Amino acid sequence: MTVRVTTLPAAAAAPLADLHGACFPEDPWDAAALQRLLALVGVFGYLAWREDAPVGFALARDLGDEVEILSLGVMAGCRRRGVGRTLLDAVMAEAGRRRRGSLVLEVAAGNTAARRLYAGAGFVQVGRRPRYYRHTPESGDALILRAAAVGAGSAQ
């Protein structure tokens, strides 16, 4: 699948909320929450487009010494076609450009597709948060994953 990736515009809270809700109907983030998040220092993101429609997004925050991936979602009909990896690569490359040493994220322990995506990009488990996710009690633990940034140098 051919997709193009663009940077997330600052005024994207409402459309991003729609996209987030479509990707994560069990735990959507609303426009107000996303607006507050987008206003934080260091937050950046990307949209993946297929033709004229957004099909995925990545939202991250520069923490100074590393980048945290806050959320990455792909529309159900576009999953397992390289969209998530394209978005992940964009965030990892940005972390490298910012000279951050690593990236960190949390993923549901039961989300095997996402865990495969992250493992394929070099993420390894560095921690676990029991019962972190409310929407999936049987797999509610969050795994904390970390990877080196692409082309990252010293953050000094």
- The domains of the chain, with CATH numbers, are 4-148 (3.40.630.30)
Q: Token pair 């394209």 is at which residue?
A: 86
Q: How sure is the predictor about 155, in pLDDT bands with cuts at 50, 70 and 90?
A: very low
Of 133 and 9, more confident: 9
Contacts of 20 (CB under 8 A, 6+ apart): 28, 29, 34, 57, 71, 73
In the predicted structure, residue 137 carries a pLDDT above the cut 70 = no
Q: Token pair 């921690």 is at which residue?
A: 127
Average pLDDT over residues 78-97: 95
- Whether this prediction's pTM lies above 0.85 is answered by yes
Structure-token pair, residue 79: 């999953």
Q: How much is the pLDDT for 13?
A: 92
Q: How sure is the predictor about 119, in pLDDT bands with cuts at 50, 70 and 90?
A: very high
Q: How sure is the predictor about 75, in pLDDT bands with cuts at 50, 70 and 90?
A: very high
Neighbours of 72 (CB within 10 A): 24
Percent of the chain at pLDDT exceeding 90: 75
